[in-house]
Amino acid sequence: MGVATPPLHPMPTEFPNEFPARPLFLGSEIYRGSSYGAKHPLAIPRVSTAIDLSRAMGWLPDAVYRDSPLASPQELARFHTPDYIAALHRAEADQHVDAATGERYNLGRLENPVFPEMYRRPAISTGAAILAGRLLAEVPAGIVYSPASGTHHARPGRASGFCYLNAPVLGILALLDSGIERVLYVDLDAHHGDGVEDAFADDDRVLTLSVHEDGRWPYTGKAEDRPGDLAFNLPVPPEFNDTEMDYLLETVILPLGQAFRPQALVIQTGADALAEDPLSRLDLSNGALWRAVRALMGLAPRLLVVGGGGYNPWSVGRCWAGIWAVLNDIAPTVPPTPEAESVLRALRWSRAAGRNPPEHWFTTLADVPRPGLLRDEVRRVAAAAIAKMVWTG
């Protein structure tokens, strides 16, 4: 993979009092006031909404919450190139990139703009993933949730797809560097998890599996692609529904995970696959993602769950708070408390759908289920993955 040697001075891994007996939630207040810019899809509050909803529902006591650390340049250099890290840090300090820097590192572009926290924000979300990997490697079993750490597109020397640093890759590397020998990565985002797949294409310790919309940016992850024996892609058609997600889970994802026998599992839970998201044409309810997380939890004793995409503040906040509930064996299908409803009613979204939001975005946490036909395209995607599974052995 061409990654750097581990840092000489790793961040401490002292255990929070409630971990590992109870899941640990890693967050930060940096996400509350930080935005990629008023016109960017990530102008919306996401992680802060998930935190606020979880607290308002009574699901997130202070004892299981921890502020995320800032990853050091040395820690980031386990995957990212030192020159890129320096350029990203300099771009935040200067609030500007010159043309050559922008071209080389894909910074200052429409997708990856210059904004006030453009180094600190991803370095904190990546610091959370690194800490999670180290904590999990030191216990026989445990769960860590870091909804900010799903930035799966970033490359060693370039920003990509709203992702400046690749938190999932660095979290997985922290697990491997601490002695874990088999890690399963399952990506449920509407967009192909290309950065993570490519990082571990030649590493037989990591199996990557991505469910994503076929034909959508970054236009990779075809069923017939062979990026490595342990990389599986399930590109699904537009209007992909709950029935089809459940089918892939039962026929491909769970059998593949069981056969791999992972010691640790990382699940990327991008909420942009939900029906009300503006950046995909998929048609899932949040219940489909909650069922997937619940089913996958049993595949490994150590579990790191991260967020990902999601560009409707109501759908992503409700989904990610519900995932935290699932991780704690709490049913997320209950009505919101008055305090949680207040959190939802306080959200604002500049897109047309946010100017007159439907009432159920305020008064429910669970989406209406979205079952549908099991189409031949989805059956073919499953069959291709099963054939590769058999071929891989």
Active-site residue set: 153
Around Cβ 183, how many Cβ atoms within 10 Å?
26
Among residues 56, 27, 34, 50, which one has the least CA distance to residue 286?
50
Q: In DSSP terms, which residues pair with 210 in a beta bridge?
A: 187, 233
Helix/strand/coil (H/E/C) assignment for every residue in the chain: CCCCCCCCCCCCCCCCCCCCCCCEEEECCHHHHCCCCCCCHHHCCCHHHHHHHHHHCCCCCHHHEEECCCCCHHHHCCCCCHHHHHHHHHHHHHCCCCHHHHHHHCCCCCCCCCCCCCCHHHHHHHHHHHHHHHHHHCCCCEEEEECCCCCCCCECCECECCECCCHHHHHHHHHHHCCCCCEEEEECCCCCCHHHHHHCCCCCCEEEEEEEECCCCCCCCCCCCCCCCCEEEEEECCCCCHHHHHHHHHHHHHHHHHHHCCCEEEEECCHHHECCCCCCCCCECHHHHHHHHHHHHHHCCEEEEECCCCCCHHHHHHHHHHHHHHHCCCCCCCCCCHHHHHHHHCCCCCCHHHHCCCCHHHHCCCCCCCCCCCCHHHHHHHHHHHHHHHHHC
What residues form DSSP beta bridges with 187? 210, 268
d(CA 316, CA 286): 9
